[in-house]
Structure 1
Amino acid sequence: MNARVPATKPKVDLSFVLTPILQVPDVQHAMVITADGFYEAHSGLDTETAEKLSAVLASLLASGRGTSQTYYGGETVLRQVMVETYDGYVFVIPAAEGTYLAVFTGPGVAMDNVSYEMQKQVQTLGKAMVSPPRGDVGRAPSGDDGRSA
């Protein structure tokens, strides 16, 4: 019996994509979150806060997608959600494979610098999350070329 064990993708440390964003003046925190409300990386928030923010941001994203799809049509793609308060801004953009990049800033941040750095890091994140294809996918086990006798 040659049972196949499903391969699991090891979790990748994604915190390296947050570092350049955190160097933008007045950026306070950054996170990589999933669409279902979990975090993959964050910039030093306590665990409870990171978990709560991930869940809240997932709801915000769902509301943004629902709003844009209802108004613009079912095939529209959400590009960004932004929240503005007197204390600062929250930016959230799609990243790779069901993940999003969220950045929290103070009120005086240069929004164009944040946007630019976020777009750069989303590209980096996409490359980090894509693993190269395995060479043995689709090939028969050794000694069996897949042909019947």
Structure 2
Amino acid sequence: MSVPVPVRKPEVDLSFVLAPILEVPDVQHAMIITADGFFEAHSGLDPETAEKLSAVLASLLASGKGTSQTYFGERDLLRQVMVETYDGYIFVIPAAESTYLAVFTGPSVAMDNVSYEMQKQVQTLGKAMVSPPRPHGAPPPADQGGAPA
């Protein structure tokens, strides 16, 4: 009997996606988080804070999705969650499958600039997270169909 070997996704440094967002005036931090409450990258937060924020943001996203789907219907897709405080804003948007981009700002940030840069970097993140090309001659995954390469 063989012992199952854990499968681990290859780790990719995704911090390069955060750099352009951090250039927007009054942006303080940015993170890439997963729906299950872990972070993939962050902009220099201490590890304990990054872990706590990832867990709290995953809960916030789940609440936002639940609220949206209850009110607007099961097929409604969450586009953004925003938290406003006297000290600033937190924006969270879907970035890739089960992955989100979170940005933390001060109170005087230009929200349109943040939103624009977040959308640009979501496109970059999607490209960075694409599976590596399959070996020459390997059949395509079953769910994609098509002829072998």
TM-score (norm. length: structure 2): 0.86
Q: Distance in 1 between matches of 2:49 and 2:80?
A: 22
Instruction: After TM superposition, list the pairs within 5 Å mapping 1:1-149 onto structure 2.
Output: 8-135=8-135, 136-138=137-139
Alignment coverage as a number of residue pairs: 136
Unaligned runs of 5+ in 1: 140-149
Unaligned runs of 5+ in 2: 141-149
Q: Runs of 4 or more off by more than 2 Å in structure 1?
A: 5-9, 135-139
Shift of 1:99: 0.4
Shift of 1:6: 8.0
SS of the equivalent of 2:32 reads strand
SS of the equivalent of 1:79 reads coil
User: What letter corresponds to residue 74 of structure 2 in structure 1?
Assistant: G
Using a 3 Å threshold, how does the CA distance of structure 1 residues 133 and 8 change in structure 2: closer, same or farther? farther
* Root-mean-square deviation over aligned CA pairs: 1.8
TM-score (norm. length: structure 1): 0.86
Shift of 1:22: 0.2
Shift of 1:132: 3.8
Q: Distance in 2 between matches of 1:45 and 1:132?
A: 29
Percent of pairs identical after alignment? 84
